[in-house]
Amino acid sequence: MTDMNDLVIRAATADDVDTVLAFWRSAAEGTSISDDRDGVERLVARDAGALILAERDGALAGTVIAGFDGWRCHLYRLAVHPGLRRRGVGAALLAAAEERFTALGGRRGDAMVLDRNTLAQHAWRAAGYAPQARWSRWVKHLTT
């Protein structure tokens, strides 16, 4: 079992971008339109505390994006190394994200969870989150 005292929780820097992208390819469910170097670099440059990393023995163990737009607190890309799941890494990342939100004045966190990702749904429920059935996410991909 992983000793959570061995975890280092920190904000990502521009130097972490390639490592994070490679990690998401193996540990995250699905891909996002923003899963590229430019997208992650923009995130880190715009909001230096939003991309939170968990490291163990110098290796990436998990990630979460804790974005706050001044109105809402949004959680994305909670991903934990497959060999470290169910050992508190995700809980430590969510605790760090929630502390960030509270410090920024946030009042409620929402998470993007794929409908088909039942493993993630169990993790989010265990952390105290629940689906909000009366809302649907509407998206439009923007071209540049």
Strand partners, 44: none
Beta strand 59-68 with 51-56: parallel, antiparallel or unpaired? antiparallel
Other C-beta atoms lying within 10 Å of the C-beta of residue 113: 19
Identify residue 107 by its one-letter amino acid code. R
Query: How high is the pLDDT of residue 1?
Result: 38
Other C-beta atoms lying within 10 Å of the C-beta of residue 91: 16
Residue 83 DSSP class: G
For residues 23 and 30, give the distance between their C-alpha atoms in angstroms, rounded to a whole number: 12
Q: What is each CA distance from 32 to 24, 25, 77, 89, 95, in whole angstroms?
A: 10, 11, 9, 22, 24
Q: Is the distance from CB of 111 to CB of 67 less than 8 angstroms?
A: no
Query: How high is the pLDDT of residue 31?
Result: 74
Q: What are phi and psi of 97, to 5 degrees?
A: -65, -45
Q: Is the distance from CB of 50 to CB of 43 less than 8 angstroms?
A: yes
pLDDT tens by residue, the chain, 144 residues: 345 568 999 999 999 999 999 999 999 877 777 788 999 999 999 999 999 999 999 999 999 999 999 999 999 999 999 999 999 999 999 999 999 999 999 999 999 888 888 888 999 999 999 988 888 878 887 876
Query: How high is the pLDDT of residue 112?
Result: 85
Tens-digit pLDDT profile for residues 83-115 = 999 999 999 999 999 999 999 999 999 998 888
Other C-beta atoms lying within 10 Å of the C-beta of residue 56: 18
Could you give the angle at the alpha carbon of 40 between the alpha carbons of 98 and 33, nearest 5°?
100
Query: How high is the pLDDT of residue 144?
Result: 63
